[in-house]
Amino acid sequence: MDTQRQSPASQNSSPERELPPHVTQDAVVIVPGIMGSELRDTKTGKILWGLSGTRWLVSAWTRRQGLQKLHLTEEELTGATGRIQATQLLRHSTWTPYLRGQEPYTQLTDTVLDYVADPAAVCEFPYDWRLPVATNGKLLAQRAREHLTAWRAHPRHHQALAHRADQRPARLVFIAHSMGGLVTRCALDSTHHDDLAADTRTVITLGTPFYGAVKAAAILNSGRGAPVPLPHRKLQALCHTMPGLHDLLPLYRCLRTGDDVVRLDPGSVTALGGNADLALASFDFHSRQHKVLLPGHRALAGTRQSTWQSLTLDSGTVSPHEDGARHNSDGSLIRDRSGRLVYYSVQGDGTVYRDSAAHGEHLSTAPVQHGDLARADATLNAVIDILLEDEPQGPPLGEPGCGILTPDLVEAGQTWHASAEHTDSLQGLTCTVTDTQDDSTAKPARMAMRDGRPAAEITITDPGLYRISLSTRDGHTVSQLVLVAEPGLDAAEAD
């Protein structure tokens, strides 16, 4: 992260202690993405999602009962929640098929703490990501209002006002990753708190799929076509009746049908393996949400990563594509002189393509994978600038760096490749492999040209969760998490 900027010691919460000048008086709410909150069984206290240690992670995805308790019950589907409680933001690196690796939110939280007047100004909002965005949005609206009220009454808030030119009372700053941006938009719907938007200074979204993600459709389709590894089948079984996952389905015209591209509907969602009722409820919900404005919205999106944008559906099998149709100014699809559709590869963060993460006028990009957006240096520096209402410092977010392409799941002892995209030279390009349990284990991987692109040949003998990082000579690093499982993965018994 940018070390040139002066950082205050946020842990000093004594109201008598003088505050440094580089702090905001505002109240900050951090909202994670799907799979980004730790979930516990309220009766047993057992952690069902978010434990540390790769042994638990491998077991969760490769053992019969590994994720069984996360499946929604009939009671939960009718609104009787409370069996499972979200307790905190993700504190450890984790992994999910298709969605790949998810880095923890600790660095984002620590960065924010350095630029607020007191730790009491920061609210982390964990939520049960299995449930509908609408459910979690209402809970966030209530929690954000309580947080702002408490912070405005805090002694350090009054002290912080003296450091700001306008000396205005605190307002809310939401920092939301992925699905968290949808939850935040729902919270700012006037039907929940008609004055919450007025008390919000800015909303920062990191890779939020405002128009959905093709990966959500691929997850629901797992196991319907060619054989897929057990973890991917387990995720499909978990998500088939999960409202939260259906809330991430593409809303734009993504389904290729002959020489046309249409939107998904409940029938096509059923055909690909989803739930028609959940799809209908989600589409209706999103149709109303597009009218909700995000105050001071600043969207940050990952780019230069291969990202699915459209799909075809043939006999119940989804085939995703890394390009999609685009519109003319009159809303018609762009076609060539022969009247055939033209497909464009816009790319994105590996999960959410760039245009889906854009909502409003302000969009910045960085060469970052989706699961790393809340941890990347470029993102954290942008968050600081927005918190302090400063002009961006240093080079702007843009299109340097490179993309990274890895498998999401490999077997121990298997040889595989991590490829660099958008660079055709080995000069200044380095690759490191790190066990997420111990950063000191970072080891370089030898790179060579393979099929016309730089690639590292990697063999990992011990099961676990590993971070593969590519660094370019322009100072950017892009990383992806890869789960290394025991050999014979497909022989395990499915749910």
- pLDDT (tens digit per residue) in 437-446: 998 999 999 9
Q: Could you tell me the two tokens for 58?
A: 């491998």
* 165-221 residue pLDDT tens: 678 899 999 999 999 999 999 999 987 667 899 999 999 999 999 999 999 999 999
- pLDDT for residue 491 is more than 70: no
Integer Cα distance of 378 and 107 in angstroms: 13
Q: Average pLDDT in the 470-487 region?
A: 91
The burial class, CB within 10 Å (0-12 / 13-18 / 19+), for 82 is exposed
Packed helices 179-187 and 276-289: angle between N→C axes, nearest 10 degrees: 60
Domains within the chain, CATH numbers bracketed: 7-399 (3.40.50.1820), 403-485 (2.60.40.10)
Amino acid at 308: W
* 282-301 residue pLDDT tens: 999 999 998 899 999 999 99
Q: Average pLDDT in the 329-353 region?
A: 94
Of all residues in the chain, the percent with pLDDT exceeding 70 is: 92
* 374-401 residue pLDDT tens: 999 999 999 999 999 875 544 445 557 8
Q: Average pLDDT in the 309-326 region?
A: 96
3-state secondary structure of 428: coil
- pLDDT for residue 3 is more than 70: no
Packed helices 230-239 and 214-221: angle between N→C axes, nearest 10 degrees: 110
CB proximity list for 440: less than 8 A, separation 6 or greater: none
- pLDDT for residue 16 is more than 60: no
Lowest mean pLDDT among 31-40, 116-125, 421-430: 421-430
In the prediction, which pLDDT does 392 show? Answer: 54
Integer Cα distance of 414 and 483 in angstroms: 12
In the prediction, which pLDDT does 391 show? Answer: 58
List the one residue out of 142, 202, 148, 199 whose CA is nearest residue 175: 202
DSSP state of 177: E
Q: What average pLDDT is seen over the chain?
A: 90
- pLDDT for residue 152 is more than 60: yes
- pLDDT for residue 125 is more than 70: yes
Q: Which carries the bigger pLDDT value, residue 478 or residue 395?
A: 478
Lowest mean pLDDT among 9-23, 90-104, 192-206, 322-336: 9-23
In the prediction, which pLDDT does 17 show? Answer: 65
Pairing of strands 409-411, 403-405: unpaired
Lowest mean pLDDT among 105-109, 136-140, 327-331: 327-331
Instruction: Return the H-helix or E-strand segment holding 101.
Output: strand 100-102
Q: Average pLDDT in the 141-162 region?
A: 94
In the prediction, which pLDDT does 492 show? Answer: 41
| Residue found by looking up tokens 């006002």 in the block | 161
Q: How confident is the model at residue 76 (pLDDT cuts 50, 70, 90)?
A: very high
Instruction: Return the H-helix or E-strand segment holding 472.
Output: none
Task: Supply angle C-alpha 43, 46, 50, rounded to 5.
Answer: 135
* 432-473 residue pLDDT tens: 999 999 989 999 999 999 999 999 999 999 999 999 999 998
- pLDDT for residue 9 is more than 60: no
Q: Terminal CA-to-CA distance of the chain, rounded, Å?
A: 43
Q: Which carries the bigger pLDDT value, residue 12 or residue 76?
A: 76
In the prediction, which pLDDT does 487 show? Answer: 86
Integer Cα distance of 459 and 33 in angstroms: 31
Pairing of strands 324-325, 415-421: unpaired
Residue 173 pairs with which residues in a beta bridge? Answer: 28, 202
In the prediction, which pLDDT does 20 show? Answer: 76
* 102-112 residue pLDDT tens: 999 999 999 99
In the prediction, which pLDDT does 474 show? Answer: 84
List the one residue out of 75, 77, 89, 76 whose CA is nearest residue 39: 89
Integer Cα distance of 362 and 203 in angstroms: 11
CB proximity list for 284: less than 8 A, separation 6 or greater: none
